[in-house]
Amino acid sequence: MNRSFWVYGALLVAIQGLGACGNNPVEEPADIAVTAETGASDKLVVAFGDSLYAGYQLAPNEGLAPQLQAALIADGIKARVHNAGASGDTTAAGKNRLAFVLDNLDRKPDLVVLGLGGNDMLRGIKPEQTRANLEAMLAELKRRQIPVVLTGMLSAPNLGADYARAFNPLYPELAARYGAKLYPFFLEGVVMDRSLMLNDNIHPNAKGVTRIVEGLSPLVEGALKEQ
């Protein structure tokens, strides 16, 4: 993970001026379900995050939710993955819309895959605020008795050692506190490979999402099988 950390940080330095990860006003609303119909499904998974989840600049079947859904089905798990990714979302924005998304589903989800915090880091939001917002979301999901897979993010080195010491432990510490499964770095194995990234060098392309799903899907499958 160390190599991913430094390459990721170097890329973020170059695009720090963007201000928010993947702000794309033409994308579909965040609470639109995956368009691919799978028929009756035994499991409902909600992918709740920012542009890395939303499928920024990707075709409808290329984003995280549809590719994760396809991987689960290929492994014999009848699942529907609901795309609740919103480009530009900070943890504060995610906290504010979480209950709305959950309350407007057709049923209680079997699992939420939660990934926010990248935009907080890009904007230099204080890690204690990011922690508080993530904790509020995890507490709400625990209150609703919805299991969680938490996908982590890493601080860019240009933000300094103090910021990294406060930001990077958020995900493992909160996962342990709330009993969530942890995928430590969402872009692990992807961000250092330009062939797996879009031209902005921060969002994965379709092949990059496939690589992410290869790493993430076993964790998701394990969480679903525990129920």
Instruction: Spot the catalytic one: 87, 89, 203, 217.
Output: 203
> 168-187: buried (b, 16+ CB within 10 Å) or exposed (e) per residue?
bebbeebbeebebbbbbbbb
- Whether 87 is catalytic is no
Which residues is 204 bridged to in the sheet?
197
Which residue from 100, 170, 91, 104 is spatially nearest to 137, judged by alpha carbons?
Answer: 91
Catalytic: which of 4, 31, 50, 51? 51
DSSP string, 70-95: HHHHHTT--EEEEEEE-TT--HHHHH
Which residues are CB-neighbours of 225 under 8 A, at least 6 positions away? 77
For the chain, the residue count is 227
User: Contact, 186 vs 153, CB < 8 A?
Assistant: yes
- Distance, in Å, from the CA atom of 177 to the CA atom of 188, rounded to the nearest integer, reads 23
Examine the residue annotation and report whether 200 is marked as an active-site residue of this protein.
yes
Which residues carry out catalysis?
51, 200, 203
